Amino acid sequence: MIVHGGHLYGVLDAGIAVCWDAATGVERWKHRLGGNFSASPVLLDGRIFATSETGQTHVFRASPDAFEALAVNTLGDEAFASPTICGGRIYLRYATHDGGRRHERLACIGTR
């Protein structure tokens, strides 16, 4: 879960993004992303990054007004680790399958 601007944002295990008022607990919005989520969402520049177990990273605006999807990107076949943000870069650990073998990989996204 993430607290930002007086609101609490979360992504439920069943793939539902939710925004609550942090002071009152009143739900502001709820949106179905799809898939299952084990990793924690992260916040960068007013955007929330949430990665599903199938490697889809959903990017949406951290705004209490309404859910606003910004992007959906896929890396690999599986992802269970939370994205990590450091030095202007996003690091994502994911896995691919080649035949019966599972290969873990680390992606670095950013220009700095």
Owning domain of residue 80: 2-109
Task: Report strand pairing: 69-74 vs 84-86.
Answer: unpaired
Task: Give residue 17's identity as a one-letter amino acid code.
Answer: A
pLDDT at 112 over 80: no
For 38-94, the pLDDT digits (tens) are 999 999 999 999 999 999 999 999 999 999 999 999 999 999 999 999 988 999 999
Token pair listed for 21: 């008022």
CATH number for the domain spanning 98: value is 2.40.128.630
pLDDT band (50, 70, 90) for residue 111: confident
How many structural domains does the chain have?
1
